Structure 1
Amino acid sequence: MIDYKTWEEFRNNGLMWFVNTTLHVFGWTLIYDPKSKSVYPARCKFRGFSEDVNTDGYKKVSSYLKRNIDELEKEANE
């Protein structure tokens, strides 16, 4: 099953932040351009985010998991 979502939803749920926290280890990031609604990879010099950005990201991902955990578990066990 594929259920297409928008980049805005992906970002609003903290998933762009979550993915970029891993990509930063390798000096990469995903950039979202809201005007064209496109996403592209880029090299970056920075590693990680500020404490405030991380806190916000953890809250968003936690909320997403709380809202979707039953469905995620069901899908994992199918």
Structure 2
Amino acid sequence: MKKKSWNEFRQTGLLWFINSILHLFGWAIVLSYKDENDDEPTAYPARVPFRGFDEEHNTKGYQMVTHYLKKNIDYLMDEANDERDN
């Protein structure tokens, strides 16, 4: 296991992806920054009144996750294959 930052998780698009699933249940993971230079936000689950994101945010989210997959697919496949071998 390797600890990663919330900012890296967000930049992959995975925070958007997970929140799009959580929205179905009226939940979201919220990142709260003290200021624009804050590298490590406070993260907490929250109940939310909305369900889903608008088209612009969905398009950007899908692009970010697709880019992450394209960049990391070889590593992810190697990691998955290593798990099967153990």
Q: TM class by shorter-chain length?
A: over 0.9
Question: For residues 20 and 64 of structure 1, what CA distance do their matches in structure 2 show?
Answer: 17
Task: Please give the secondary structure, in 2, of the residue aligned with 1:64.
Answer: helix
Unaligned runs of 5+ in 1: none
**Are 1:71 and 2:70 matched, yes or no?**
no
State the partner residue of 2:29: 30
**Are 1:19 and 2:18 matched, yes or no?**
yes
What root-mean-square deviation, in Å, do the aligned CA atoms of Structure 1 and Structure 2 show? Answer: 0.9
State the partner residue of 2:66: 62
Aligned length: 77
* 1:10-62 CA distance string (max 9 Å, x none): 11110100000000000000000122611100001100000000000000000
Question: For residues 45 and 25 of structure 2, what CA distance do their matches in structure 1 show?
Answer: 12
**Are 1:49 and 2:48 matched, yes or no?**
no
User: Whose Rg is larger?
Assistant: 2
Unaligned runs of 5+ in 2: 35-39
Question: For residues 68 and 33 of structure 2, what CA distance do their matches in structure 1 show?
Answer: 22
Identity %: 52
- Give 4+ residue runs of structure 1 displaced > 3 Å after superposition: none
Query: Taking structure 2 as the reference length, what is the TM-score of the superposition?
Result: 0.86
